[in-house]
Amino acid sequence: MVISIGDRLPEVEVMTMSASGPKKVNTADILCTGKVVLFAVPGAFTPTCSDLHLPGFIHRADELKQKGIDTIACIAVNDVFVMDAWGKAYGVDNALTLLADGNGDFTKAMGLEMDGSGFGMGLRSQRYAAVVENGVLGALFVEQGPGVEVSSADSVLEHV
């Protein structure tokens, strides 16, 4: 079942890269304090994710923060090393927090998984963006087809 507006985000362990290496973090610690924009991509280094989705949030990070967003996070069903390399390749720096949902546990708990096995990708996340306040889902924008329309940084800016 897909998460609904007004539901609390699932609390799941994911990974992020720290200065000392890979680190387990609970999604509650990152996504459930203050006002958060979370966006999910099917895969790091994939064309649409790398050419459109991630860069949009990097370029619009300051505007989102000016509108009261405390944290901008990106999650993908990739391992922490891939997410770290992707962040370095695209100059994420401190603009966003990259979360590796390597086993897809968070994605499954959100009810937003997709079967990418037809493309050799296995279980992945649907492309979406969410606005979360103190752990409660306030808005959810799930793409219904290819491309980045409703889950883009520009679209999210219109709703925060």
> Which residues belong to the active site?
49
- b (16+ CB within 10 A) / e for 47-66: ebbbebbbebbbebbeebee
Q: How far is CA 92 from CA 58, 67, 78, 115, 142, in A?
A: 6, 20, 16, 28, 23
In degrees, to the nearest 5, what angle opens at C-alpha 80 toward C-alphas 76 and 85? 95
